[in-house]
Amino acid sequence: MKKNVKGLLKSIFKIEFLIIYIAVITLAVSICFKTYSNLKIASLDSQMLKIQLEIKHGSYNYQELIKKLEYDYAPYTYFDENLKVELAKILELLQTNQDNIEPIITFQNNMHQTQSRLNLGYDTLLYCSIILISISGFTLLEKAFKNKIDLHRLKVMNEEQSKISRNLHDGIAQDLAALKLHLEKEDISKSKFYAQQAFNEVRYMIGATHLNLSDNFENLVKNLASTFEANYNISTKVYIGSNKIQHLSENTQIEFLRILQESLSNISRHANASNVEIRFVDGIDDYHFIIKDDGIGFSEEDVYNNNLQDVKKHYGVSNIKERVKLLGGTVKFIHDEKEGGATIVITIKDSVC
């Protein structure tokens, strides 16, 4: 309970909220003072006009005018010494019953000028308050946005860790299990083969997890391809026939690179391929990301059935589908029974950047 109260107090008394509170109060006070002052001056002007007309006809009591000036006008002379002096002279003349219409008109005009300066001060406070509220509001929104981004990054990191653990289980763990089996059988040749497979997989995963996203996206794809080719001795070619990939957002680039890593990892483990092609091709209102190999091929149905029967699940296809779904695209897994091999075709609309 104490922690909740403490957290609530912290959120209420954040510096941004305090600034907003002060600015709102200042804004309200400025509006009230300015409105009241202008209404009061307008009311006094009407009254003085009536008084001046009555003075001309000789029907006004000068003592009433003195009271009006002393109680209603005097507060507006506090910030202006010249006005205070003018008012004192007018009151002195009134007390001797001298004609004071012209001095009173001059005094009113000067008072209006003072009121204009006061209005400028009120307006300055008003605009400063609005600016402070805007800045504080923007700061709060920026912090909220950054927190949202941090949470998203944390979620992505957790997902990546989960997928890496799946890959470890799906690839390296199986290679090590096979290595152990063949060592027990004293089959040196196959033991060396699976040991090399596990080593290649570890080295490839370490290299693939370190991506310099400040580099050009095309270079990143080519670097992944060359790393894959060097580790697994599988010829890997990259063909870029797309201008649209130059405008991909960082998030889309990351997803494409992870999809490529997933696909190449699956090819190294299951496809028994000698050649891989990676293509980016523009469509009319979309673009295509294509990964093709000349291996034994597979179908989604086969993968699904194998996962039902095998305790050791294979997550490669499902990982790819999840990532494509996040991008709002579609994916097709094509197996050509005549020519062999498998082709993954990912289609993304132009609106996804």
For all residues of the chain together, what is the average pLDDT? 76
Over 90: is that where the pLDDT of 270 sits?
no
Q: How far is CA 295 from CA 129, 160, 171, 180, 190, in A?
A: 69, 27, 18, 27, 21
Distance (Å, rounded) from C-alpha 17 to C-alpha 147?
17
Which of 15-29, 270-284, 300-314 is most confident?
A: 270-284
Residue 309 token pair = 């029967």
Average pLDDT of span 119-143: 83
Using one digit for the tens of pLDDT, what is the confidence trace for 204-225?
A: 666 655 566 667 888 889 988 8
Per domain, the residue ranges of the chain are 2-146, 211-353
Over 90: is that where the pLDDT of 141 sits?
no
Residue 228 token pair = 């894959």
What one-character-per-residue DSSP string does 235-293 give? EEEEEEE-SGGGG--HHHHHHHHHHHHHHHHHIIIII--SEEEEEEEE-SSEEEEEEEE
The answer to pTM > 0.75 is no
Placement of tokens 């007390």 in the chain: 95
Over 70: is that where the pLDDT of 159 sits?
no
Indicate the length of the chain as a whole number. 353
Q: How far is CA 348 from CA 213, 224, 225, in A?
A: 21, 21, 21
For 89, the 3-state DSSP assignment is: helix
Which conformational region is residue 314 in: left (phi greater than 0), alpha (psi within -120 to 50 degrees), or beta? Answer: beta
CATH number attached to the domain at 211-353 = 3.30.565.10
CB within 8 Å of 153: residues ≥ 6 apart: none
CA 302-263-210 angle, to 5 degrees, is 150
Residue 268 token pair = 């190294």
180-184, 233-237, 302-306, range with the lowest pLDDT = 302-306
Average pLDDT of span 60-79: 70
What one-character-per-residue DSSP string does 144-193 give? HHHHHHHHHHHHHHHHHHHHHHHHIIIIIHHHHHHHHHHHHTT-HHHHHH
What is the identity of the amino acid at 158? N
Residue 311: which pLDDT band, with cuts at 50, 70 and 90? very low
Which of 17-31, 32-46, 87-101 is most confident?
A: 17-31
Nearest to 259 by CA among 344, 151, 139, 159: 344
- pLDDT for residue 314: 55
Which conformational region is residue 287 in: left (phi greater than 0), alpha (psi within -120 to 50 degrees), or beta? Answer: beta
Placement of tokens 């050509």 in the chain: 336
